[in-house]
Amino acid sequence: MLIPILIGAVSALAILAHVAPFRFALDLAHRDMSVWRMPVAGSAKPIYLTFDDGPNPTATPDLLTLLQQKDVKATFFLIDDYVTADTAPIVRRMFDEGHCVAQHTGRRWLLARSPAHVESMLEAGASKIEQLAGHRPARLFRPHAGWRSEALYRGAARANYTIVGWSWMSWDWVGLRQRTGPRVAQQVLAHAGPGKIVVIHDGHHRNPRADRAYAIDAAARLADGLRAQGYRFRTLCEDLPPGSSASPAK
């Protein structure tokens, strides 16, 4: 009886090491090149809004307009396949309006590929964004759904990229309930903390034109709610040098 329990526990830990939605074993082993919460100096209250799975032509432009109106700068993790001649103006707008642009992926099983493949993918994606949008993205990479591996870390290191996750309960997953702006905002606000990295999805890894009205609503509520709590919105480009896990926010 004890042996099956031990096998199950070891198997669960092995799975968590690769897919845990928080810093875990692999990340602790690579703490010099991964970040899940930014360090904070003194009494500063920086917070980092990040958006995944764009650019989404049905949602991202409205989100950018909202952020401009609220005077909020954010970090966008883009799916390479979604950066095209049609969506390039959206990405150029991100750069022009002072947001941080980084790389994401819709490929969950990237963790099973070789370090050389990961390095090549990151460099090719950066070159594509630069060619289409006129600017090269930051050397920051967020794996799809947090699925990561030793090979993925090694590939990112070869390309001099930092792996970026997100902070505990600072996400737009609300259990089995429908995602709505109020629910997402309430969850993030209830667990807000200095240096936390918030993740919201303005796109979808399988649908490049997904309805993401809830994300825009949540962003509006968070812009007001977090600012009312004394938080300052920062981008990861401002406070996270390439190839290093983090620097204290000022």
With contact defined as beta carbons under 8 Å apart, do 75 and 102 qualify?
A: yes
Catalytic residue selected from 201, 202, 204, 239: 201
Burial 26-63 (b: 16+ CB within 10 A, else e): bbeebeebbbbbbebeeeebbbbbbbbbbbbbebbbbb
Distance CA 201, CA 170 (A): 12
For residue 201, indicate whether it is catalytic: yes
CA distances from 51 to 13, 28, 169, 202 (A): 28, 24, 15, 6
Q: Is the omega angle on the peptide bond into residue 46 within 30 degrees of 0, that is, cis?
A: no
Q: Where are the beta strands (DSSP E) in the chain?
A: 34-35, 46-54, 75-79, 100-104, 140-141, 162-164, 197-201, 232-233
Catalytic residue selected from 18, 27, 30, 52: 52
Region of residue 177 (left: phi > 0; alpha: psi -120 to 50; beta: else):
beta
Q: Where are the beta strands (DSSP E) in 39-135?
A: 46-54, 75-79, 100-104
With contact defined as beta carbons under 8 Å apart, do 236 and 74 qualify?
A: no
3-state secondary structure of 149: coil
Q: Which two tokens stand for residue 214?
A: 């809830």
Distance CA 127, CA 136 (A): 7
For residue 27, indicate whether it is catalytic: no
Q: Name the residues annotated as catalytic.
A: 52, 201
